[in-house]
Amino acid sequence: MTDIINPTIDLFLYDLRNSLGDDETDIEQKRQYFYQKFHQTVQEKLKQDGQENNQDIEVEYIHLLKSTYAPLDPNSSGEDGYYYPVRLGDSYGLLLEVAAPEKKTPEYFGELKAKIQQKLGGNNATLGQSWMLSTYLPNSSEITPQEIEKISQESCKAIFPNAKEIEYESKGEFIGATIFEYSDKSLKQQIVKLTDKEIITVVQNQHIIIAIYPDQATFYKLSRFYADWMRLFYYHHKIVWSYGQTRILNNQIKDKFSQIQTTIKSIEANLTKGNRKANKLEEISDILSQFQILINQYTQNINNLKFQQGTIEINLSNYDKRLQTLQKKAREKITINKTSIAFFEEFSKLVNEKYLFQITRDLKNFDQGLQLLEGNINAIRSQVEIEKAKSDRNFQELITVVGTGVTIVTIMDNDAKRQCELILSEKSFICENTLIFKLIVILSTSIFVWFFRKYISKRS
């Protein structure tokens, strides 16, 4: 097996510092979650240096340590491993590097990965992470491109032993190194436990860069570009994370739509069956008022979806600009070796043709769904108002016809007994109790008036 020299793993990982609507408590909890990735000595140093004290200012890129770097082992100089923490806008970035200065075999990358995982202690990245494996060869001029690719595959399998087959989507050159990208674009959902709550985040399953340098001199020039890689991978993972959030929102909007539709059908069924009693109409009217809350939630989720769409567009623009900057910088500073990393543009193509296309289509469907819901609800509301108006008119009509009978009884009040005797007979027992007679008069008059009004209504 071909030996490699100075095998180095750089893990670029990213955590969300704050999102829309976060208060100081939320921001502090996320800061503490990020700090857990460091050993205690570095955590104290981060607090003492206070490089992000201007919490209300959105910074593009700032080092969180005054010394920029901190050793992975507090008792070492940092030559074999270090932390490099930064803040990027609303997020945190961290580069952890471990290396072996001597000659090794590609399998040794597995041991280096274990060291990083031990330092992290199972602390997940909330936005995503990228692995960069770098090394150089003792006699590169004697090694064929096929052998270089085989070395890269062995290196990749060393950190992902369960991978059945490593198939690179793309490869290129970076300041003389042969560079490969292995990317599993499937998304995985994970739950992150903060101090007193949990958040759901969606990240890319795997993203790995393997760079095989031809010699030591070229390999040592890699360090000049870490800040550029930090930014490039950040935009990459922020885009993937935002797209993952749109998938969560997509399911929430669909569930809300289904919930509203089911209730609408239930109300329509009640109205069709003739459940038009006043109390039932009031109940339906109250439900429709509550629907406005659901509609507002539905609309808010759509707005959040549009916000994530905007986040993707901004970070895609930043990604493309950073990629151009990285290529230009590499070609200007390292003129003797070739740089050709245009294959990273494939990610931009994926974002445009899949991510943004999918979100645009979803938004169109959801906007149409919102119009449909509002139309259905307005139709039901109008029908309920009509039925309530009918109910009110019936009640008013009842008051009118009964009121006519009561008016007649009131007129004849002082002469009720005599009127009863004239209509019935002097010996009628009903006339002995004028209350019964009055009720009969009210009922008879009301019935007569009701039929008369119906007759007039039909004639007109």
pLDDT, averaged across the chain: 81
Residue from 171, 262, 175 nearest 226 by CA: 175
Q: Which 3-state string (H, E, C) describes 145-207?
A: HHHHHHHHHHHHHHHCCCCCCCCCCEEEEECCEEEEEEEEEEEEEEEEECCCCEEEEEEEEEE
Instruction: Find where tokens 């930064």 sit.
Output: 86
How does DSSP classify residue 353?
Answer: I
Beta-strand relationship, 128-136 and 198-213: parallel
For residue range 173-223, what is the model confidence (pLDDT) as tens digits? 999 999 999 888 788 888 888 877 888 888 888 899 999 999 898 898 888
Query: What pLDDT band is residue 443 in, cutting at 50, 70 and 90?
Result: low
Which pair of tokens denotes residue 439? 């009720």
What pLDDT is recorded for position 186?
85
Banded model confidence at residue 248, pLDDT cuts 50, 70, 90? very high
Lowest mean pLDDT, pick from 29-33, 91-95, 350-354, 377-381: 377-381
Residue 379's pLDDT is 65
Residue 191 is predicted with a pLDDT of 86
Position 12 confidence tier, pLDDT thresholds 50, 70, 90: very high
User: Is pLDDT above 60 for 265?
Assistant: yes
Query: Rounded mean pLDDT of 117-123?
Result: 86
Three-state secondary-structure class, residue 101: coil
Q: What is the pTM of this model?
A: 0.81
CB contact at 8 A, 166 and 182: yes
Taking the C-alpha atoms of residue 239 and residue 306, their distance in angstroms, rounded to an integer, is 14
pLDDT at 250: 93
